[in-house]
Amino acid sequence: MHSPIPETSNINLYREKSLHRDLKTWYLGPSDRVEVNILGKVVDIFRDNSMIIEIQTRNLSSLKHKIELFLGKTNYQIRIVFPMPVHTTVITLDKHLQEIRKRKSPKHFNPLNLFSEIIGIPHFLKNPRVSLELLLIKQTDLRCADGKGSWYRKGNSLLDKKLLSVEKQLLFNHPSDFMSILPAPLPLLFTNKLLAHTFRCNYSTAAKISYCLKKMDLIRVQQKLGNSFQYIPSYFQ
């Protein structure tokens, strides 16, 4: 396992790149090719001359143009690999890059947050050539107490993220696979408000869930009730 401090004096050049590099090394198979140029786009891994593998540590929406291009002009399978932390160790450094604090992040893993991540690409996930692999990981966040970071990090800058371990792999080959991460069965008829109550989540999360499920053809609009839509699972059509 690498040292949590990047081996460079210009540490900001490595911001959030180590996690991607570590995951690519972990995921790489013996015959895989890395950093392959396909139709003018560099892909992370090309497997068996038949599958494009893109490892994305954030902002899945940025893959839209690549996915459209590869679906339209190739016959390759497309695998999106996305990590979500189940445990994060936060290491805080001073301005001289000396460790001053180490703690466990209080954030808890919630599988429903995956719908917030795929909000820009759910329509692609119903294509039989597109799959998503969720990696549940333990990671290290390396931060610097420089007063230049975001308010929710209390002014600490995020310098890097590093992989500690992959705890579990979840493969979504078909839209119906996403139903497995829901904490309860879908009601026969529901609004976002009822969905939030059923899943014990906030309204915003419920709205993202219903949006994604609708785009994946897993639910459909039954009727409009005032300013809200009432949905029904597609298997009741």
DSSP letter string over 98-130? -EEEEEE------TTHHHHHSTTSTTGGGSTTE
Q: 217: pLDDT confidence band, cut at 50, 70 and 90?
A: very high
* Same domain for 219 and 190: yes
Q: How many CB atoms lie within 10 A of CB 28?
A: 16
**Distance between CA atoms of residues 130 and 178, nearest Å:** 14
Cα distances from 168 to residues 86, 99, 135, 137, in angstroms, run 10, 30, 6, 7
* Residue 120 in this model has a pLDDT that exceeds 50: yes
DSSP 173-204: -SGGGGGGGSSSPPPSSB-HHHHHHHHT--HH
* Same domain for 84 and 32: yes
* Residue 4 in this model has a pLDDT that exceeds 60: no
* Residue 5 in this model has a pLDDT that exceeds 70: no
pLDDT at residue 10, as a whole number? 41
- Percentage of residues of the chain with pLDDT beyond 70: 91
Contact yes or no for 211/178 (Cβ under 8 A): no
* Same domain for 106 and 89: yes
**Distance between CA atoms of residues 125 and 173, nearest Å:** 8
Question: Using one digit for the tens of pLDDT, what is the confidence trace for 129-183?
Answer: 999 999 999 999 998 887 676 776 777 888 899 999 999 999 999 999 999 999 9
Number of structural domains (the chain) is 2
Question: Using one digit for the tens of pLDDT, what is the confidence trace for 34-53?
Answer: 999 999 999 999 999 999 99
* Same domain for 168 and 211: no
Q: Is residue 4 part of a domain?
A: no
**Distance between CA atoms of residues 235 and 237, nearest Å:** 6
**Distance between CA atoms of residues 94 and 112, nearest Å:** 35
* Same domain for 205 and 189: yes
Mean predicted confidence (pLDDT) in 206-228: 95
pLDDT at residue 51, as a whole number? 97
* Same domain for 112 and 229: no
* Same domain for 152 and 64: yes
Question: Using one digit for the tens of pLDDT, what is the confidence trace for 59-79?
Answer: 999 999 999 999 999 999 999
pLDDT at residue 98, as a whole number? 85
The residues, any chain, with a CB within 8 Å of residue 91's CB and separated by 6 or more, are 4, 99, 101, 102, 140, 141, 142, 143
**Distance between CA atoms of residues 198 and 192, nearest Å:** 10
* Same domain for 152 and 193: no
Q: 236: pLDDT confidence band, cut at 50, 70 and 90?
A: low
Mean of the per-residue pLDDT values of the chain = 89
pLDDT at residue 149, as a whole number? 67
* Same domain for 118 and 187: no
Q: What would the two tokens of residue 155 be?
A: 């002014």
pLDDT at residue 7, as a whole number? 34
Choose one of 128, 151, 178: the last residue of a domain. Answer: 178
Q: What is the CATH number of the domain that holds 190?
A: 1.10.10
Q: Is residue 45 part of a domain?
A: yes
Q: Is residue 52 part of a domain?
A: yes
Q: Is residue 5 part of a domain?
A: no
* Same domain for 207 and 98: no
* Residue 227 in this model has a pLDDT that exceeds 50: yes
- Which amino acid is located at 52 in the chain? I
Higher-confidence position of 153 and 108:
108
Chain CA centroid to CA 167, Å: 15
* Residue 89 in this model has a pLDDT that exceeds 50: yes
Q: 97: pLDDT confidence band, cut at 50, 70 and 90?
A: confident
* Same domain for 225 and 194: yes
**Distance between CA atoms of residues 200 and 192, nearest Å:** 12
- Percentage of residues of the chain with pLDDT beyond 90: 76
Which residue segment(s) compose the domain that 123 sits in?
11-178
**Distance between CA atoms of residues 213 and 219, nearest Å:** 6
